[in-house]
Amino acid sequence: MNSGPLLFLGLFATMACSWTGFVLAPQLQLGGLTQTNTVVVGDALAQTYPLPQPGEAHAGAEIYRANGCAACHTEMVRPSALGSDLQRQWGLRRSLAEDYLFAQPVMLGAQRVGPDLANFGRRSDTNGIFLRLYDPGLITRGSVMPPYRFLFETRKIGLFPSPEALVLPDQDAPPVGYEIVPRPQARALAAYLLSLRQDGYLFEAPPPPLPKTNAVPTNAAPAAAKPAPK
């Protein structure tokens, strides 16, 4: 090999180019991203966006990560030009860099075996999440999602039944005298899933324009009509 330094320089330049493009430039552009105010429509007040996840949701993110949920679920609403996510009502708007300000790590996911979860908190509730985790087929018939029953505990009913016990149809019901309650991990995961909502309109993705008013403008009233008394 007679041109080692040249080869090294070529490899170095190639790596440096991609590092500049994929690491340095985004860091310079978005590294200083902070919370912003949402764009408001009408009389609403501007909100700070995004908000940090509450503690239980933060713990739930670790459960989400540990169980490999991101292998089948994404957390990103694609822009209108790149798919039908918005038509499926998976989000009010496309995902932006701000949405992931407090996600550590960002679990965008790579493929969609299941639906996108970027806005799952907007369309689900704790009980629905527990049922889906215990038996995914209950809510979505034919779901290929595996059940996560180890997040639940089957235990003997004590003095009173737990208010958190799952209400299940017959094929999933526990034996008489027993109840199925979510473990803390399931509650944390539910808190995390409920915290997934990218519903603040931001400057980069403003709300859709309001429909044009169809009210008759006052100056277009027929000339014969008398002006309304003030």
Partner 1 sequence: MNTDQPTHSVNQNDAEPVAGRSTVPIWLIVVFGLLFYWSQLFLAENAGGFNKDVYSPYPSYDEVAAANPQDPEAKRRTEGRRVFMTTCYACHMATGLGVAGTYPPLAGSEWVLAPGGNRIAHIVLYGLSGPINVKGQDFNGTMLAWRETYNDEQIADVLTYIRSQWGNNARPIDPQVVKAARAEGRANYESSDELLKMPVQ
How many angstroms from the chain centroid is the CA of residue 123? Answer: 10
Q: How many residues does the chain have?
A: 230
Q: Shortest distance, CB of residue 52 to partner 1, whole angstroms?
A: 21
Query: Which H or E run contains 110?
Result: none
Phi then psi dihedrals of residue 37, to 5 deg: -95, 145
Q: Shortest distance, CB of residue 82 to partner 1, whole angstroms?
A: 8
CA-closest candidate to residue 76, choices 108, 122, 52 = 108
Cβ atoms < 10 Å from Cβ of 16: 11
Q: Shortest distance, CB of residue 119 to partner 1, whole angstroms?
A: 17
Q: Between 1 and 224, name the residue whose CB sits nearer to partner 1.
A: 1
| Interface residue list for partner 1 (CB under 8 A) | 1-3, 29-30, 39-41, 43, 45, 79-82, 94, 96-97, 203-207, 209
Q: Shortest distance, CB of residue 208 to partner 1, whole angstroms?
A: 9
Q: Between 1 and 228, name the residue whose CB sits nearer to partner 1.
A: 1
Residue 169 is encoded by which pair of tokens?
């149809």
Q: Between 141 and 230, name the residue whose CB sits nearer to partner 1.
A: 230
On the 0-12 / 13-18 / 19+ scale of CB atoms within 10 A, 144 is exposed
Q: Between 31 and 68, name the residue whose CB sits nearer to partner 1.
A: 31
Q: Between 29 and 140, name the residue whose CB sits nearer to partner 1.
A: 29
> Within 75-214, where are the H helices?
120-123, 126-134, 184-194
Q: Shortest distance, CB of residue 60 to partner 1, whole angstroms?
A: 28
